[in-house]
Every structure is written in structure tokens, then in C-alpha cells.
Structure 1
């Protein structure tokens, strides 16, 4: 008899529910089930493996919490499956009618989820291979370093406004071979600059303090760490598996960071397609018109993965569309791509993709539509075009349909 383990992961422990079959009345079983609370230490891991599960189900809580438990289970030969947060929430409330959310209820819901959906792989979050997991870790680390740098840099510039105002707004970029940006490296005492020496000797400022120099050292350290991560990403992306993806990305003008973010979310493209390698398209009844409507399900899943799929919400006569689900990092990366590569006319590539997106953006802005809405629309359209280009190169044809 197969042993199914539901694990709800917390910061330093897990709540575990072991099932041999789905209980007939999950709500009543919730009050009778012998749940396990296991700590994130050697004893907790030993107790987890002593349960001898065949399959374990967890929510994807990022790289910080679930990774410990999932890795130890995988090393012990246990199959690990991931269930999306939204899917589990709906399943727990609508199918099991469990009481208010708590760790034990989630663990029980995860275990039950397997018995209901074990034959449908799309009910589970795709488990990525080692290289994709590593790319994901690196792009998340870059995003973290960017968040850390911004307040430090802003504070340093505010202080420079009265200590050395002539350079307070200088945009200093990282040099070749990963050299720290000249301004911050000069302030930290790591690089020489005759220009900054001369400007400082003639400055009307009140003098640079040790606090600013310490901030500059922190910025240099963070920039060096970024460079090391970017070099590793570039090396990983040279893998032949990503060659077709990078050919398509080049048409869109995606930078190295955006490419890494996208690959971490959409590779392999086959995960969005039917078993025959073609997009899934179904004729379904329209919600409002009740007429047969073509639904591009693969495209929808792809957009959702990138955080670029609008969802319609309605209450009474009020209806609104908003973007929900998917990767916040992808959504932000696409928005920045629109802002830096599509919106400025001088930055657009000379191809059909940039022309179509650029003309629509210009027309909507000229019509007076809110610029934030326009950028979101262009990002969503860019995601649709990206999917079609990837499918075309995957099929080796001119049409994805």
C-alpha cells in the first residue's frame, strides 16, 4: 500500500500527515489524525525518514524553507511533488471543507490532493532539473542584491548632496572585468581618479564622512557579488539546450538577466504543450455569449507563468481585470523590458516584433491612456508573441497552430 505524506513547511519545522488512503470524511478525520510536528534538525529529519513515505507533497515555498525537507526526501528515494498555493487553498476550502487554515489542515489537504489528482500531472507544479533550479536561485539572489543596494545607494547620495554635491547624482557603472563603479570605488579608496580628486579639491561640499565611505565599500562588495553571479549565469546559459530560446530572446532584445529570469520560469516549453508538441486549443462554451469559443489553453498557461495573464473579477455590475498569479519577478522583468527597450524609440530593435509593439505603445499613449496600463498591455502582448515564436522554433515551422 502506497504511503503518502503531506508536509506543510514552516520556518523551522513541518507539520506532517501520513495517509495510506484518502479518508471518507476528511473534516472529521482532521480531528482524529495523529499529525507529526518535526523540527528542522537532525532528530526531525530522522523522524521524517522513519515515516518511510513513498510520495511526499509540499507547497513551493521558495528556496529557503522547503528546500531542506525536499532535498533530504529526494536523497532517500522519495518522490517529491509540489502543489501550487492557489490550487491547495481552493482544494482545502471547496473540496474538503476543512476548518480555518492551519498547518495541520494544509498537511492533510496536501496528502488528500494526491489521491484525487495523481493521474493529472498538470495539477502539480513542474519540478525543474538541477540547472534550472540553479538559474532560479541565481536570479533570486540578484533580485535580493538589487533590493539591498538601493537604500544604501540612496542614503549615500543624500549625504553626498551636502558633502560632495558635484558627484551626488553621477551615474557610475561597473567597469570591465567586474571592476566596481568608479565613483563608489574612489569613495571606498579602491580605485584612483584624477577627475574626482580635482572635483573634490574644488568642491563646495562640507567634506566626505566615514559613513559615506563605508556605504561605498558596501556597494562595491555587493557589485562584485553581482558580477560573480552574472558570470555563472552566462556560463549556464551557454548550454546547448537553451540555444533556441536565446535565438528567440535576441529578437525581443532581452538582456542577459531577463533571459535568465524567463528561462527559469518557462523551460522547457514542452511543459506548456500537448503530448504531440503542439499548443492545446479547445472549443469551449463562452461564459457570457454561450457560443463556441476557441480557447488557447497553452498560451494562457504560458502567460500565467510569466505573470502576464489578466484575470476577470466581477461582483454585481462591477467587473474589472487584473493580473494575478505567476512570477512577480517575470512580471517585473517584462515591465522593465517594455520601459527600456520598447518605449524609447532609440532603443527599439529594427524588426517586426519591436515595430508592432512600439507602434501599439505609441498609439495608446497618444490616445491618452494611462501609461502604466499601456506598459502592462504591451508586456502581455510581448508574452503572447514570445510564446508563438518559441513554439514556431520548437515545431520548426512558420506557424504555431
Structure 2
């Protein structure tokens, strides 16, 4: 009996499946033949299954030996992964970029759940037996670290709009404290929001805010703090208490013997618990990484070649976006500020690298301005090229399409040569130093992150293997 592989595109309340019993010889042809017989309406498609007991039972009747999933909407995918685990069905996780490139390579349509399911199944058949081509999510403590990190990120996103709304309310009701920054203390609560919510706070804090309120211009003119404002503050305090519980759970997990060595290495880099959690969840165990590029990609620091013509450049846009954000914040808060830099050997090395990069790009103001203007000119040429392409391409006949790209390049260069000097003069006059620094700031941070990632890889290999 032939084994069945199933590509599963996971939606909010159902999955779209594409089963195959063999590796497809021509994916595009398969799509043309079978894609038209399938309905994009899950209620009408026989291979789309809702997250109900009946739907899951129908899915299991496909008798899959393995399924391919994309970790989009991790919580939705987690349900199917759990079902497969219980039913002894192998689960293979395929990265977003891998699915995208595989779909484009076979000229399958974008934004189409059926096409995504076919691309996942085809990718699984092409790479079955090559574990390095799939994402690896370690069970146990690394998985719990990842879940807690995601919970904390969700809480951060939910707090921001509440704080913004509270500040708007307080601008009328208690303007003296509307812009005051209040962060959680040892109690887990932020003093201002706790006082507004009616929580018990330190006597000095209580006296301070009562005194401020008594002298407030709003209080003097008969104003009051509304029920709505107090309930918003209560909601924010509840989030802070949940956050504290998760942070305590993170601390317990990071002290586990399973990841203790990882934590110690990362502490030497000045990384706090949240950064440690997401990094460990991504790279545990370190023994599965044989090369630095593979490790850097997993942590979002891999350079992807983006060359054109005689110009070669690399973008640091490959791998985990969450890890890339964590690196950015780590460099910005731990390394960039000279006052807060830890004095560990690793942090000293990274700080020296950061300072050299900053000196090279900021050392000569004229050179920095020249590089910024050059970058803006290239951006203008790309915009001109895209504009011409969008306007002219629909008018080009098929027999002329082969030469269109070459003609487009020549035309954009010709237009740029005519306006380059005037555009350069305009940029030179209007370019502020803050814009120059902003342009190079991100570059310095991500270069530093890449260097730190290399040091982290070496330290982990040295201390753990």
C-alpha cells in the first residue's frame, strides 16, 4: 500500500488538505488538472475539514503517513500537530520562505489555500528524508519557553492601546500625570495604574498621588476620575500580574538542568530572560547545528544575497523575524548605550565591534552624507523603473516581452542621467544629519547582531558540546 503525504494549509477554523501518494512529476500540470475540480469554499470542498470531531475524523480517514504544516497562526497549527502526534502521524514543519519559493518555482497562484496545500505536499515529497530542510521545534522545556515568550509578546501588544487610551482620558481628568511613565515594581504593579485601579500601594505612593489629585486643575474645577478610566487601569493591572506570573515561570524553566548551560552563556552576553527564552527555544539542542550560517539563519541573522547586475549586496532578512527583533532590542538596549554595557568578555568584544562600525560610518560626516545620497539615488531609480514597468508592460505584445526588461533598464538609466544632478543637489540641501544617522543606525545594529550571533555560536559549542 502506497503511503499518503498530505499538505495542510491551516485556516482559523478548518484545514485545506492536498493528499498525494507519490512525488508529482509536474506540479503546475497537476494544479491545472485537479485545482479546477476543487472548491475554495471549505463547505463544498471534500478535502477541507473543520475543527470539529467529525471534521478531524474525516481528516484521519485520509490515512496520512506524514503531513506538512506551515507555522502560520501557530495555535491553529498546534491543534492539528497534536492530533497527528496522538495518531502517530509524522509532522514536518515547512518555513514560510521555503513554501513561498517552492510555490513560485512551480508557478502556483498566490493567496490561494488550495495552492498552498499543494505546495506543502510537493515540498514534503521533494525533501522527505532530509531533516535539515524542515523546521525543528524541540519538545519539553524549549517548547514551553517559546509559548511563554509568545504569551508575553501578546500581553505587550494588548497593553499599548490601553495605555494610549488611559493617557487620553487622563489628559482631561488628571492632566498632571497623563504623560507620567509608570512601570511595574517588585509588587508586579505599576504605581500610577495601581492607584487608579484602587489596588493597595505603598503608603508614600498613596499619599503622593492623593496630594497631586487634591492640587490638580481638574479637581479644582470639579472634575473627577471616571469609572471608565479606573476600569481600564484595572485591566492593565491584571495584565501586569499575568505578566509577572509568566516571568516567574520563565525563570523556573531557565534554571532547569536541561537549558542551564545555555542560560549561563547567554547571561554572559547580557541577555535577559525573554531574549534567552526565544533564542533557546529556536536553537536547542546546539548539537544539531554543524555550521554557522545554519545557526545564524535560525536566529534571524543570515545574510541573503540580493544582487543586481554588477552590484552585489546582502540583506539580513532571512530566518526568524521574532529573533531578529530580539537581537535589535538587545543591541539597542545593552550594547549601544555605553553606560549600561556589561563588562563580560563577550559584551566587551561586541561593544568594540559596535563602536568600530559606528566610527566607520559616522566618523566622516561628509562620507556618511555621500553614502546616504547614493542610496537615495538608487531608490529613486528603482521607483522610476517600477513606474515605467507598471505603465508600459500591459501594453507590450508577447513577442516583444523578451526584450522589454533590457529596454526598461536602459530607459530608466537614461531618465536618471537627465535628472541625477538636480536630484543630487536637492537631496544635499534637504538632507538632515538626523536622517543620515537614522539610515546607518539600523545597518550598524544588524551588523553587530550578526557578529554577536557568531560569538554566541562559538561559546555555545565550546561550553556545551
The TM-score range, normalised by the shorter chain, is 0.7 to 0.9
1:172 aligns with 2:182: yes
For structure 1, list consecutive stretches of 5 or more residues without a partner in the other structure: 274-297, 396-401
Q: TM-score when scaled to structure 1?
A: 0.85
Matches within 5 A, 1:55-70: 55-70=66-81
The residue that corresponds to 2:215 in the other structure is: 202
CA deviation profile, 1:240-299 (whole Å, cap 9, x unmatched): 0111101101111111111111111111111212xxxxxxxxxxxxxxxxxxxxxxxx21
Is 1:105 the counterpart of 2:115? The answer is: yes
Counterparts in 2 of 1:209-220, with a 5 A limit?
209-220=226-237
CA distance in 2, matches of 1:117, 1:15: 21
Residues in 2 aligned to 1:38 and 1:225: alpha-carbon distance in whole angstroms: 35
CA separation in 1, counterparts of 2:160 and 2:299? 25
Higher helix share: 2
* 2: CA distance, partners of 1:195 / 1:32: 72
Secondary structure of the 1:128 match is coil
- Number of the residue aligned with 1:131: 141
Q: 2:308 aligns with which of 315, 338, 358?
A: 315
Matches within 5 A, 1:2-401: 2-30=3-31, 31-32=33-34, 36-94=47-105, 96-98=106-108, 102-178=112-188, 180-192=189-201, 193-206=206-219, 207=223, 208-273=225-290, 298-317=291-310, 319-366=312-359, 367-368=361-362, 370-395=440-465
Q: In the superposition, relative to structure 1, how do residues 101 and 371 fare at CA in structure 2: closer, same or farther (>3 Å)?
A: closer
Partners of 1:388 and 1:119 in 2: CA distance: 28
Q: 1:295 matched to which residue of 2?
A: none
The structure where strand makes up a greater share of residues is 1
Choose 159-168 or 238-247, whichever is displaced more: 159-168
In the alignment, the residues of structure 2 paired with residue 156 and residue 321 of structure 1 have an alpha-carbon distance, to the nearest angstrom, of 43
CA pair 29-253 structure 1, distance change in 2 beyond 3 A: same
Q: Structure 1's 6 and 371: CA in aligned 2 closer, same or farther, altered over 3 A?
A: closer
SS of the aligned residue for 1:64 comes to helix
Partner deviation per Cα, 1:174-228 (whole Å, 9 max, x = no partner): 23253x1111110111124111111211223454333322221111011111111
Local SS of the residue matching 1:354: helix
**Deviations 1:132-174 (Å, cap 9, x if unpaired)?**
2222121111111101111211232243344323323333232
Q: Distance in 2 between matches of 1:26 and 1:372?
A: 40
Contact 1:63 1:137 in 2 (8 A): no
Change (3 A) 1:205 1:354: farther
**What RMSD in Å do the two structures reach over aligned CA positions?**
2.1
* Count of aligned residue pairs for this structure pair: 369
For structure 2, the 5+ residue unaligned runs are 39-46, 363-436
Select the structure of larger CA radius of gyration. Answer: 2
